[in-house]
Amino acid sequence: MTVFTYARVSTADQNTDMQEQALKAKYPDGVYREEKATGTNMKRPKLAIILEMINRGDKIVVWKLDRLARNMNDLCGIVETLKQKGASLEIIDQAIDTGTAAGKAFLQMLGVFAEFETNLRKERQMAGIAAAQAKGKHCGRKATLTTRQKDEIRHKKESGVNPTILSKEYNVSRATIYNALKEVIESPLKDA
């Protein structure tokens, strides 16, 4: 039997230290893999490799459920793959092992509650944004270029300056330059 231990974080500035400690404490000889990838998409190549390599009697172990799956569909797909291969899943934090009937049932209930909590969090976030906007607050990222800079860019572009040179001059991407030019061109139409 091979035990695959899997740790995941969503962003590059996070680390897997706590997960790694918990996994290696319980399974020091496990095949450890980690990656930094968002759970809402399926672009988790190391998890995909584990799911491809796993065989009958093997086990994948994660620290917490949300480190493996972000929603019920994702979780069900992973669990179904493991079931078809005769493998199991263990979640250390919740003491769940799908090698048992109780573990399977409990995992499904946890998945439903985890998805419910994610949806509640999104609703609270949207309500907070709406309340802030109603008070006139700007939500989101600060503008990269000022209105004056956008006007300068338009004039320089009309004078024949290359967008690549403009992007270096203003220390922004070429896409930002093109967006600024597009915005300046479209804005008179909005006022008409």
Distances (CA, A) of 39 to 43, 66, 72, 74: 8, 8, 12, 9
Name the residue among 54, 59, 7, 12 with its Cα closest to residue 33: 7
Residue type, 94: Q
For the chain, the straight-line distance linking the first and the last C-alpha, in angstroms and rounded, comes to 71
Query: Do 24 and 30 form a contact (C-beta atoms < 8 A)?
Result: yes
Q: Is the dihedral of CA 18, 19, 24, 27 positive or negative?
A: positive
User: Which sequence positions are flagged as catalytic?
Assistant: 10
β partners of residue 59? 3, 88
- With both helix axes pointing from N to C terminus, report the angle between 147-158 and 163-170 in degrees, rounded to the nearest 10: 150
Q: What would you measure as the largest C-alpha separation in the chain, in angstroms?
A: 73
